[in-house]
Structure formats: structure tokens, C-alpha cells
Amino acid sequence: MNKFDKKKEQVTAYQHNSFDQHSLSENTIRSIYVDNAGVMWIGTYFGGLNKFSAVEKQFYHYKNNPADSKSLSNNYVQSIYEDNSGSLWIGTVNGGLNKLDKSSDQFTIYKNNPSDPKSLSSNSVYWIYQDNSGMFLVGTYGNGLNNLDKKTEQFKHFKYNPYDSTSLSSPLVWTGYEDSSGTLWIGTFGGGLNKFDRLKEKFKIYYNSNDSLSISENRITSIYEDKSGYLWIGTYNGGLNKFDKTREQFKRYLHNPKNPKSLSHNTVCSIYEDRFGVLWIGTLGGLNKFDRKKEEFKHYRKTQGLSNDAVCGILEDDHGNLWLSTNEGLSKFNPTNESFRNYDMKDGLQSNEFNTSAYHKNKNGEMFFGGINGFNMFHPDSIRDNPHIPLVVITDFRLFNKSVPIGIDTSNNRLILNKSIIQTKEIELSYNDYILSFEFTALDFQSPEKNKYAYILEGFENEWNYTKANRRFATYTNLDPGEYIFRVKGSNNDGIWNEEGAAIKIIVTPPWWSTWWAYSFYVLFILGLLFSIRKYELNRVGYKHSLDLKKVEAEKLQETDKMKSRFFANISHEFRTPLTLILGPAEKLTSASSAEEINKQTSIIKRNANRMLNLINQLLDLSKLEDGKLKLQSSKGNIVSFVKGITMSFESLAERKDIRLIVMTEKDEIEIYFDKEKMTNVLINILSNAFKFSSKG
């Protein structure tokens, strides 16, 4: 197939390539059709149907072609750099160093040659950089640092020597950076941070595990200098470090699970300061925005729209957008409105997985991102969204998970659809149709698997339900009788929405017992029943009320009689006790031998005589008891002396029955409020019963 550019009068040929699964499937073309979205459909003689999009994203993909020795040497790209002359250099894992000639799209490959001491020291290249002095540095993961002489194409090696403290601290070079003063910093994996003295060709190591002001980890993953001159160092599982070069001190920023405003993850993959001076940190736990005044981090993760939480690289385009390479594609982030636009393999990316350190932006604004299947080159301005607003249609209607046919359904002898569901505007259902489903689609075929949808059943729910292309259906159960409107809207692969979408009205008819005339009958019947019940209740309540009054009067009279009987029985019992207590002293008086004994016994007689007087007064208070006016008369007094006085009145009784009577108390004086008369009754009753039921001796 050939494409002819009428303006340039140039022909571009598209042919089958057995090494490229995305090339034309077969070279014999039978038919070509372009749909409304600009997608070209190509029918071949033996190769089936091909889909070609003329508006696909301009992500140029470079990868290894086994049939082409001038292609990229290895698809695992770990570093990318464009030098001062405009040559693009690609570092691969186990594939050496590649130099791209953009005019021919051919690569020159530099690899390690064990027999040549001036060849590349290792085939795993993790860092490439040309400093201000013209020194071209290549960091390898396995055999130190190289300086390439472009004229002679020979490499000078700076290797790790465990016996030389001024050598490179580790053979594993991960990254590097030249600061504003021209100082070269080399980040190693396992040897900490190195400062490289080019003149002396010596290295100074910054790592001391016993020093809290040292760098937090010896595995360095990224280095960046901000506009204030501070060096920011990202580490593997050691968080972020801020390096004050003047004082040679490090400040650590670590992830704290208890602090939601700390660094989101301790493995830092990338660091970037944007045009506004905002520092962005890419970690294995998402993107971080650092507030330097508050020293707080704001997190952006997959839940906020980021394609994946592992942020490998950060670049800024000319419009202030950040381009983030992740482990699930590329994200374009707008810091102003904090929105994400994600791209994946279907948009032309090398794969969905990118590598740390494999990102670069040249002076023309072109961006390069490398991953596990080569690398992509693009200019952000060339990445345009698909402008086609897709038509959204409802493609199927189901009852009980079975598609409803057009015309009479022979299984239940019903007519629900008299034409296609696409053309249907209204459906009438029975209340028995309690499981119904709709299927829908957006007619855009650029990348239909990336189309998105939203649906709502008005009258049943208040919010839209958002779903992806793998769930293009909606199911509802047990809808109440009434009227509903099902609406669905959709977007194309780039998020351009058809807000009008498609809609269909649903009428669920009620059962006969839920119709208006049934409810009218229910109301009339209930009103008549209520009237009859009310009339009956009024008659019954009146009769019952008169019976209750008589019963209450009888119960009151009976209760009064019982209270009187109990009262007289209690008073009679109370009379016996003081009489007994008077008789004892009286007997002793007849045989008393001294005046002191006589006085003692007469006092007991007087006390119990007063008790009898009180009992008589209680009889006089019977009218108060009947009127419910008998109340406590409490006053403050010493309960100890009171109890002793009452108890001692039983002393003569105790002597006659040969019973030992003792009052024991913790204190001699306890002041409380109590009714002396009622308490006297209580104590005398207790003691009377105690002596009554205690045997002699």
C-alpha cells in the first residue's frame, strides 16, 4: 500500500515485514475504507483485515531488528542522552552503547572487547553524559566509569579499586550529575555518592553509615541540583537526601507510615524542579510534590489518575506539563488542574514498562523514554488527541440475562420490541420483569478498548456510574413500578466525550392490586372498617370505664382495711415489748438492795413507759396514715449513742435470759440525718425478734 502526499509529491510505502507484527499483514490489497473517525480498514487477499490509523500518536519507536545489524543492539534501554553535536546515545543492558544517526535511523554500536583494553568496560550502560569541558562519560553497571574519546573512539576506564580509597567506590555506576559549579557527582549502587576530581582523576566518597548527617543510603538512583544550589539525591530504599555542598551535610526525608505528608516511598527513582521552582519526586509509591516551606509532600498515585505508582522518569514540556514514565505506560500531568492523560502500548509506546534513568529531553523539546522493548522519541506538541466525538448506541436489551428479540417472543407470547433496540425510544415492562440489562458501545475504533462509558437510570439513582470498555453493560433488578430513563454516554480512546449519548424510556407497569382503582377500593374499605371499629370501641370503652371505676373504689376500701389491720397488729406487737421491758425492772425493784440499783431500774421503766406513750400516739396518727400524710421527720444526730441507748433498754431482758448483749462500733460519734421515732421502731423490732428466737444462755 502507498500513501501519496500531494503537497510534497512524495510517496510513503507500507509493506509487510515479517519482523514487525504491526506492519501490513500481506502486500496484496483488495479494498480500502476510511470511517468517520479517520480509521483506515484495509482488506488483503490472503492476510485478512488490517486496521490503520492515520491520526495515531507520533511516538516513534526504536527497537532491535534481528535482521538489521544497524538497528538498536538490545531492547532493554537503561540510559538516553543527546550530546552537544546532536547525536543520540543509547545505553542498553548487555547490549553496549548505541549511537543513533537520525538521518539514516542507523545505530553505531560500542561494546566491550575483552582483547581490547580501550573498548567499553562493560556492556550494561546506565548513565551517559558530556560535561562542559567536553568529557564524554559513560557509566556502566559492572565495571565502573568510562571516558570516550569521540575522535579515536577509545575508552579510558575509571574502575573500582578496593585498595585505593580515592578510586571509584563501586563498579556499579547508576547515575551522575554535573552541578552549576562544574563539579561531577557520580551515584553508585552500593558505594554511595562520589565527587569526581577530573584533574587528579580521583574520587571523594560520601557515605558513612554511622553518621546521621551522612547520606542515608549507599545505593544512589538519582541526582539533581535545584536553582538554590542544593543537591538532591534519591536512593534505593533510603529516601530523599538534601545535600548542602558548603557544609557537606545531608538532610534526610523518609517515608513515615504514620505521617500522610511524608515522602510516599523510600525508593526514589527521579527528581525534577519545574519552571516555577516546584520540586517533584518520582518514587515507587507515586509522584510527590514537595512544599519546601512546610517540608511536606503531596502525593499523586494511581487513584488520582496516574497510570502507575512507579514513577521512573520526569520531564517538563514547553507548556509546563510533566511527562512521567511509569511501569504501566506514560502519563502527561497538568500541575495546574492536577489532571492526568495516560498513554500505553496501543498508542505506540515501546511497551508499558519503562526504566529508571532512561529519559532525556533535548534542546529542541523532543523527549526520549526507554524501556524493556526499545525507546520512544516524540515531541509533546505532536501528540494530539483523537478529536472524533463517537456516536453512542444501546446495542442490546436483555430480560433475565436473555436478549429480547424483535417481534413476538414465542417463549412467553409477548411483544416488547417491535424494532431494533438501537431505534427504540420506549420500552414497557411488567412488574414481573425484575432483572433487566442494557449493552452499549461508542462507535470509535481508534483504540476501542480504551473507550470509556458512564450510565445512569434516572428515577432510580442520582449519580453516574463510570465504567471501561471491558464492562459495556448495566443491570438493574427489582425496579418499582413507575417511569425511568436509562442514559449512557461515552468517550473515545483520548477521553473526548459524547455528553448527549443515548437514552431510552422504561415504563414498569404495576400489578392489578397496585393500580389506582385498587387503591381507591382499599381506601374506602379501610375507612368503613375504621368507622365500625371506632364505634364499637367507644361503646366498649364506656362500659369498661364504669366497671373500672367500681373496681378501683372497692380495691381502695379493701386496701384501707388491710392497712388498718396490719397497723393494729404491728402496734399490738409493739405494746408487748415495752410491757415486758417494764415488768423486768419492776420485779428487780422489789428485791433491790441499793438506791443506785433502784434508780437504774426506774430509768428503764420510764424509758419503756415513754415507748408505750409513743405507740399510743401512733394509734392517734392512724388518720394521717389513712390520708397518706404520714412522713419521715429526720434530724441530725449521733447514731452511735442512739443505738446504744435503745440497746441498753434490753439489758434486763438479756440478764434474765442469760444472753450477752454488746454494742460494737468503729467510732464513738457518727453524725447522720434520721427519723428517731422510725429508727426506734426498727431497732426495737430487730432486738425483740433476736431475743425472742434466741435460747437461754
pLDDT tens for each residue of 83-101: 988 999 999 999 999 999 9
Per-residue pLDDT at 574: 66
* Angle, CA 688 vertex, CA 684 and CA 690 arms, to 5°: 120
Distance, in Å, from the CA atom of 479 to the CA atom of 459, rounded to the nearest integer, reads: 10
Spatial contact of 403 and 455, defined as CB atoms under 8 Å apart: no
- Asked if 46 and 172 sit in the same domain, the reply is no
The stretch 512-517 carries a mean pLDDT of: 78
pLDDT tens for each residue of 115-159: 999 999 999 999 999 999 999 999 999 999 999 999 999 999 999
Q: How many CA atoms lie within 13 A of 287 on its CB side?
A: 33
The sign of the dihedral angle between the CA atoms of 263, 267, 272, 273 is positive
Where do runs of H (alpha helix) occur along 241-319?
Answer: none
Q: Phi and psi at residue 93, in whole multiples of 5°?
A: -95, 115
The stretch 249-276 carries a mean pLDDT of: 97
Per-residue pLDDT at 629: 64
Q: Is the pLDDT of residue 52 over 80?
A: yes
Judged by DSSP in three states, 265 sits in: coil
Distance, in Å, from the CA atom of 75 to the CA atom of 548, rounded to the nearest integer, reads: 101
- Asked if 221 and 324 sit in the same domain, the reply is yes
113 pLDDT band, cuts 50/70/90, is: very high
Could you tell me which residues come within 8 angstroms of residue 495 by beta carbon, excluding any fewer than 6 positions away? 341, 385, 452
Could you tell me which residues come within 8 angstroms of residue 508 by beta carbon, excluding any fewer than 6 positions away? 429, 430, 431, 433, 479, 480, 481, 482, 483, 484
More confident position, 192 or 557: 192
The sign of the dihedral angle between the CA atoms of 592, 597, 602, 604 is negative
- Asked if 44 and 190 sit in the same domain, the reply is no
* Cα 464 from chain centre: 21
Structure pTM?
0.69
Return the H-helix or E-strand segment holding 559.
helix 516-590
The grid cell for 454 is: 458512564
Could you tell me which residues come within 8 angstroms of residue 671 by beta carbon, excluding any fewer than 6 positions away? 636, 637, 638, 639
Distance, in Å, from the CA atom of 387 to the CA atom of 493, rounded to the nearest integer, reads: 10
* Cα 250 from chain centre: 33
Among residues 12, 30, 53, the one where a domain terminates is 53
pLDDT tens for each residue of 348-379: 899 999 999 999 999 999 999 999 999 999 99
Name the domain count of the chain.
Answer: 5
329 pLDDT band, cuts 50/70/90, is: very high
The grid cell for 457 is: 437510570
Per-residue DSSP letters for 141-173?
Answer: BSS-EEEEETTTTEEEEE-B-TT-TTSBS-SBE
Among residues 629, 649, 665, the one where a domain terminates is 629
CATH number at residue 624: 1.10.287.130
Per-residue pLDDT at 681: 81
Identify the weakest region by mean pLDDT among 183-187, 430-434, 586-590.
Answer: 586-590
Spatial contact of 55 and 446, defined as CB atoms under 8 Å apart: yes
Per-residue pLDDT at 115: 96
For residue 382, the 8-state DSSP code is G
Among residues 482, 514, 546, the one where a domain terminates is 514
Q: Is the pLDDT of residue 697 over 80?
A: yes
12 pLDDT band, cuts 50/70/90, is: confident
- Asked if 677 and 575 sit in the same domain, the reply is no
Q: Phi and psi at residue 346, in whole multiples of 5°?
A: -70, -15
Is 636 within the bounds of a domain? yes
With a pLDDT cut of 70, the percent of the chain lying above it is 92
- Asked if 149 and 296 sit in the same domain, the reply is yes
- Asked if 349 and 253 sit in the same domain, the reply is yes
- Asked if 154 and 282 sit in the same domain, the reply is yes
The stretch 219-240 carries a mean pLDDT of: 97
The grid cell for 254 is: 523518609
Edge-to-edge strand order for the sheet containing 39-44?
Answer: 29-34, 39-44, 49-53
Is 245 within the bounds of a domain? yes
Q: Which residues of 134-170 are buried (b: 16+ CB within 10 A; e: fewer)?
A: ebbbbbbbbbbbbbbeeeeeebebbebeeeeeebbbb
The grid cell for 228 is: 538554590
Q: Which domain holds residue 612?
A: 537-629
The stretch 23-46 carries a mean pLDDT of: 90
CATH number at residue 400: 2.60.40.10
Please choose, from the candidates 445, 446, 490, 483, the residue with its C-alpha nearest in 3D space to the C-alpha of residue 468: 490
- Asked if 292 and 270 sit in the same domain, the reply is yes
- Asked if 305 and 174 sit in the same domain, the reply is yes
Distance, in Å, from the CA atom of 99 to the CA atom of 76, rounded to the nearest integer, reads: 15
- Asked if 465 and 376 sit in the same domain, the reply is no
Average pLDDT, rounded, for the chain: 90
pLDDT tens for each residue of 614-630: 666 666 565 566 566 66
